[in-house]
């Protein structure tokens, strides 16, 4: 029982990073009704860019690396928007989708090339802190990952629900034509969505690096798949859904890793996806109507 | 000089001449009616004026400056707003937020800095929005989601949202469609109030009682061409108009 609780709580804390990745997929889908398959790769790319800070200033604090990843993620998000969406006609949605697949592979190849495929150490914070309640422990670095991710989500929700920028974003996602007639530049809102999700992605990548201890190009594909699973389970376009599904998938895979081993774990995650697709295809929080 | 001037405006869809060589001049302060049988090109004309369709040929000038090639959001910046025939509200935003969105209009850009415009809270626009809610009789529904409103209320919200962008010219695309007589009466009052506030109105409508009652001038379209123009009483007496409505096709 203790093992179960321990692995579940570790997994839920780590699942916050899945939630961030899921939000990135779901937000772009909600606003543009398109999938950005390069998102998880760009997030890992952002995390790698954060490491450049250590290269320039050896011994830079972990915090600076995370912040660098955050900013680089935003820049990469904008680049993905420019290359995969901005110049590709809306009337050809498949072209944009394929462009994001190309971008995913391109980022992957750049990382492999630049690092010779060798995993790099990633700094963490509070990794020597351990909270104990009897046998049960909470790792300090995982707690940090969880708190940072939650703060980012809270910031995103505040942006979306409390500011006019967020309102404009939601207006475009619900009724793009009418939004134009309210003076909103749809292209700008789309670009902003990519920058904001990119910032979140950079943080997610950095937090994954911090909790695993290393970054490797092998991360991009599984992370893309986990992000998509989280998006589907949460309900395409639903942010609360992505958050809950992220924590759920994190806890679920950690428990199965504990009891069934690391190679078997993702089998069950896939099965979970199919259970949802069969019994609740709209996800946990299928967005209500009102979209065009 | 006319506030809105269309010269030789055409829009062809393949071989279909939806609008064909249309000349139109709407004076500032007028309520101008645009009528015609179904499929005569009225909605296409509205879409051309707001820039949702590109011109095949011809020119559109607003406030003395050509704007036939501007993108939609810049035309709004010059002062053109519209309501839609098929309602296009932001369904999952509240009534109040639907009006808040429209406070992003270019007219507001001049008034507020970049940061206060995008990241600012709700405080500085409350006054204007409550006036609009009052005007459209939706004050008691301000926290309701737009998707949950009754049909007539949604139409009123469309109109209020168009006004929230502070336009000089409002294009109303069949605002009375599906309304009962009492609602049409209230709509009539609102249109007259808009003119009193100095807003020019281009009214596309099938409900003839309303058009004949409020407009200063009317143009009649048929098969994409203007077949008549004049005051309401002139139009009612026009033989070509009678033929277009009662002759060949259903009205």
Which residues, numbered 119 to 138 in chain B, qualify as contacts with chain A under a Cβ-Cβ cut-off of 8 Å?
A: 119-121
> For A223-227, which contacts have Cβ atoms below 8 Å and span 24 or more sequence positions?
A223/A21, A223/A40, A223/A41, A223/A43, A223/A44, A224/A37, A224/A39, A224/A40, A224/A41, A224/A104, A226/A18, A226/A21, A226/A40, A226/A269, A227/A18, A227/A21, A227/A22, A227/A24, A227/A25, A227/A39, A227/A40
ipTM above 0.95, yes or no: no
- Assigned domain for B184 exists: no
Residue A60 falls in which region: left (phi positive, over 0), alpha (psi -120 to 50) or beta: beta
- Assigned domain for B182 exists: no
Provide the whole-model pTM: 0.84
Among chain A residues, CA nearest to B104: A183
Mutate to test the interface with B, among A30, A158, A162, A164 (most CBs of B within 10 A): A164
Size of chain B in residues: 251
Answer for the pair B174, B155: CB distance below 8 angstroms, yes or no.
Answer: no
Among B133, B198, B180, B130, smallest CA distance to B159 is for B133
Q: What's residue A290's pLDDT?
A: 35
Name the token pair of B167: 């336009």
Count of Cβ atoms closer than 10 Å to residue A129 Cβ: 12
Instruction: Map tokens 């050896």 to a residue.
Output: A58
Among chain B residues, CA nearest to A186: B73
Domain boundary among B116, B145, B166: B166
Mutate to test the interface with A, among B104, B114, B167 (most CBs of A within 10 A): B104
Answer for the pair A204, A20: CB distance below 8 angstroms, yes or no.
Answer: yes
Residues of chain B scoring pLDDT < 50: 249-251
- Assigned domain for B179 exists: no
| CA quadruple B220, B225, B227, B231: dihedral, nearest 10 | 40
Q: Chain A contact for B100, CB < 8 A?
A: yes
Q: Chain A contact for B50, CB < 8 A?
A: yes
B106/B129 same-domain check = yes
Q: CB–CB of B91 and A291 under 8 A?
A: yes
Range of the domain at B120: 87-166
B115/B153 same-domain check = yes
Measure the CA–CA gap between A219 and A16, rounded to whole angstroms.
Answer: 16
- Assigned domain for B229 exists: yes
Q: What's residue B241's pLDDT?
A: 83
B70/B91 same-domain check = no
Q: CB–CB of B117 and A170 under 8 A?
A: no
Q: CB–CB of A167 and B93 under 8 A?
A: yes
Domain boundary among B146, B166, B186: B166
Instruction: Map tokens 């809306």 to a residue.
Output: A90
Query: Which residue in A167, A178, A183 is closest to B88 by CB distance?
Result: A178
Q: What's residue A246's pLDDT?
A: 96
B157/B215 same-domain check = no
Q: What is the CATH number of the domain that holds B71?
A: 3.40.50.300
- Assigned domain for B174 exists: no
Measure the CA–CA gap between B201 and B198, rounded to whole angstroms.
Answer: 10
- How many domains does the structure of chain B reveal? 2
B96/B156 same-domain check = yes
Q: Which residues of B touch A177 (CB under 8 A)?
A: 52, 88
Measure the CA–CA gap between B151 and B173, rounded to whole angstroms.
Answer: 15
Residues of chain A scoring pLDDT < 70: 287-292
Q: Which residues of B touch A182 (CB under 8 A)?
A: 76, 101-102, 104-105, 161, 164-165
Q: CB–CB of A164 and B117 under 8 A?
A: yes
Answer for the pair A283, A236: CB distance below 8 angstroms, yes or no.
Answer: yes
Count of Cβ atoms closer than 10 Å to residue B182 Cβ: 9
Mutate to test the interface with A, among B101, B155, B165 (most CBs of A within 10 A): B101
Q: Give the count of Cβ contacts less than 8 A between chain A and B.
A: 91
Q: CB–CB of A183 and B121 under 8 A?
A: no
Spatial strand order in the sheet of B169-173: B80-83, B169-173, B200-204, B31-35, B217-222, B225-230
- Assigned domain for B173 exists: no
Q: How far is A191 from chain B (nearest CA, A)?
A: 15
Which residues, numbered 171 to 200 in chain A, qualify as contacts with chain B under a Cβ-Cβ cut-off of 8 Å?
A: 171, 174-175, 177-185
B115/B75 same-domain check = no
Q: What's residue A149's pLDDT?
A: 95
Helix residue spans in A82-185 (DSSP H):
93-115, 140-162, 164-174, 176-180
- Assigned domain for B120 exists: yes
B199/B220 same-domain check = yes
Q: What's residue A23's pLDDT?
A: 95
- Assigned domain for B35 exists: yes
Which residues, numbered 103 to 142 in chain A, qualify as contacts with chain B under a Cβ-Cβ cut-off of 8 Å?
A: none
Q: How far is B38 from chain A (nearest CA, A)?
A: 23
Q: Which residues of B touch A292 (CB under 8 A)?
A: 88
Q: Are strands B31-35 and B200-204 parallel, antiparallel or unpaired?
A: parallel
Helix, strand, coil in percent for chain B, rounding step 5: 40, 25, 35
| Tens of pLDDT, residues A113-168 | 999 989 999 988 888 888 888 888 888 889 999 999 999 999 999 999 888 888 88
Q: CB–CB of B91 and A164 under 8 A?
A: no
Among chain A residues, CA nearest to B170: A181
Measure the CA–CA gap between B66 and B70, rounded to whole angstroms.
Answer: 9
Among B114, B192, B200, smallest CA distance to B162 is for B200
Q: CB–CB of B76 and A181 under 8 A?
A: yes
| Tens of pLDDT, residues A218-248 | 999 999 999 999 999 999 888 999 999 999 9
Among A221, A220, A173, smallest CA distance to A193 is for A173
Q: What's residue B89's pLDDT?
A: 92
Measure the CA–CA gap between A254 and A227, rounded to whole angstroms.
Answer: 16
Across chain B, which distance is largest between two alpha carbons, in Å? 58
B124/B73 same-domain check = no
Domain boundary among B148, B166, B184: B166
Q: What's residue A271's pLDDT?
A: 93
Measure the CA–CA gap between A198 and A180, rounded to whole angstroms.
Answer: 24
């Amino acid at each position: 029982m203790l093992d179960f609780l321990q692995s579940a709580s570790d997994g839920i804390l780590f699942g916050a990073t899945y939630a961030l990745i899921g939000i990135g997929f779901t937000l772009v889908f909600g606003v543009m009704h398109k999938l950005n398959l390069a998102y998880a790769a760009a997030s890992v790319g952002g995390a790698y860019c954060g490491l450049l800070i250590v290269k320039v200033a050896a011994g830079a604090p972990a915090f600076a690396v995370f912040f660098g990843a955050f900013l680089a993620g935003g820049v990469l998000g904008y680049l993905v928007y420019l290359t995969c969406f901005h110049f590709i006609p809306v009337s050809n949605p498949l072209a944009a989708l394929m462009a994001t697949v190309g971008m995913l592979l391109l980022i992957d190849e750049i990382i492999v090339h630049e690092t010779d495929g060798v995993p790099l150490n990633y700094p963490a914070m509070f990794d020597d802190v351990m909270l104990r309640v009897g046998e049960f422990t909470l790792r300090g670095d995982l707690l940090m990952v969880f708190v940072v991710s939650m703060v980012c989500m809270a910031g995103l929700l505040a942006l979306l629900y409390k500011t006019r920028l967020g309102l404009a974003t939601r207006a475009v996602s619900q009724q793009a034509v009418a939004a134009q007639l309210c003076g909103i530049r749809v292209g700008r809102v789309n670009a902003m969505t990519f920058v904001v999700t990119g910032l979140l992605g950079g943080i997610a990548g950095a937090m994954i690096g911090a909790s695993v201890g290393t970054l490797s190009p092998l991360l991009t594909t599984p992370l893309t798949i986990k992000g998509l699973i989280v998006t589907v389970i949460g309900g395409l376009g639903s942010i609360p859904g992505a958050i809950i599904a992220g924590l759920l998938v994190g806890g679920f895979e950690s428990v199965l890793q504990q009891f069934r081993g690391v190679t078997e774990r993702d089998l069950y995650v896939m099965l979970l996806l199919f259970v949802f697709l069969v019994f609740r295809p709209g996800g946990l929080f299928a967005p209500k109507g009102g979209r065009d | 000089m006319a506030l809105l001037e269309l010269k030789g405006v055409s829009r062809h869809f393949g071989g279909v001449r939806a609008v064909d060589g249309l000349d139109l001049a709407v004076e500032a302060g007028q309520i101008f009616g645009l009528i015609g049988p179904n499929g005569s090109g009225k909605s296409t004309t509205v879409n051309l004026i707001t820039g949702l369709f590109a011109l095949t040929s011809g020119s559109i000038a607003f406030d003395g400056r050509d704007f036939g090639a501007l993108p939609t959001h810049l035309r709004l910046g010059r002062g053109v707003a519209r309501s839609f025939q098929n309602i296009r509200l932001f369904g999952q935003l509240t009534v109040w937020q639907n009006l808040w969105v429209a406070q992003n209009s270019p007219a507001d850009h001049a008034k507020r800095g970049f940061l206060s415009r995008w990241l600012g809270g709700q405080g500085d626009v409350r006054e204007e929005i409550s006036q609009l809610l009052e005007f459209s009789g939706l004050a008691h529904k301000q926290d309701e989601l737009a998707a949950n409103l009754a049909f007539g209320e949604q139409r009123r919200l469309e109109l209020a949202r168009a006004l929230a962008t502070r336009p000089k010219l409002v294009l109303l695309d069949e605002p009375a469609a599906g309304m009962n007589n009492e609602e049409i009466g209230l709509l009539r009052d609102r249109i007259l109030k808009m003119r009193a506030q100095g807003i020019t109105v281009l009214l596309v409508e099938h409900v003839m009682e309303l058009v004949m009652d409020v407009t200063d001038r009317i143009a009649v379209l048929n098969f994409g061409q203007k077949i008549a123009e004049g005051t309401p009483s002139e139009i009612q007496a026009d033989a070509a108009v009678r033929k277009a409505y009662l002759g060949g096709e259903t009205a």
